[in-house]
Chains A and B, each alone.
Chain A
Amino acid sequence: DVKVTQSSRYLVKRTGEKVFLECVQDMDHENMFWYRQDPGLGLRLIYFSYDVKMKEKGDIPEGYSVSREKKERFSLILESASTNQTSMYLCASKTRGNEASGNWGLVYEQYFGPGTRLTVT
């Protein structure tokens, strides 16, 4: 079973604090993603990473940064938390397949963690 874990289910921080959200997956997946989920807006991609030390901006990267020093871990950083970053944050991972197994270029499903509900006051 694929397991994606997130460091906290609930987090309360103050405006201006630096916040770290950690995500760990145990399936050796190359790709990892951070989304935020807000009522009426669905899931919006913040950043993703397709390899160690690699990162790509998603749709709403402003105010966030990421770090991927190890394959299994993908961290989301709020440099200076603001109230408009109060949200549910979801981490996901997926394999990209590989040429040797003949499934390069196929798109697989993403597996999600339980989410972190962050409140910034």
Chain B
Amino acid sequence: AQKVTQAQTEISVVEKEDVTLDCVYETRDTTYYLFWYKQPPSGELVFLIRRNSFDEQNEISGRYSWNFQKSTSSFNFTITASQVVDSAVYFCALSEALSGNTPLVFGKGTRLSVIA
């Protein structure tokens, strides 16, 4: 069975601090996909990144970076020099590649508050 654990329920940081959001997953498949989404106060989930299990390269996009480590089944998300606009709930998700129809399984989310 698939499972995603985001152990950090809430995190508060001061603006300009770096922050890492943890994501640990469980799956029996060797082929799977991992995702991160951002849910700002407006409520709509915004897709941030998709990564498949064969691509262990870390990814950087501006102030965002992702660290994928198969050995520890983790896909952590780091925001560098955080800003107030980064305040949101962040979800990590997993999908086994059974078919293109497979729904995503989400973690419970981490609420990030960035204080000015």
Contacts and interface: CB of A to CB of B under 8 A. Distances in A.
B97 A114 contact: no
Contacts of B91: 42-43
Interface centre among A31, A45, A107 (most CB of B within 10 A): A107
A110 interface: yes
A22 interface: no
B100 A114 contact: no
A50 B45 CA distance: 21
Interface string B9-36: 1000000000000000000000011010
Interface footprint category on A = 20 to 34
B59 to A, nearest CB: 14
Given A31-B101, A95-B100, A105-B97, A43 B43 contact: no
Interface stretch (B64-72, B73-81, B106-114): B106-114
A110 B94 CA distance: 11
Of the four ranges (under 10, 10 to 19, 20 to 34, 35 or more), the interface on chain B belongs to 20 to 34
A113 B44 contact: yes
Contacts of A97: 100
A4 B40 CA distance: 17
A30 B101 contact: yes
B104 interface: yes
Interface of A: 30-31, 33, 35, 40-43, 45, 48, 50, 58, 88, 90, 92, 95-97, 103-115, 117
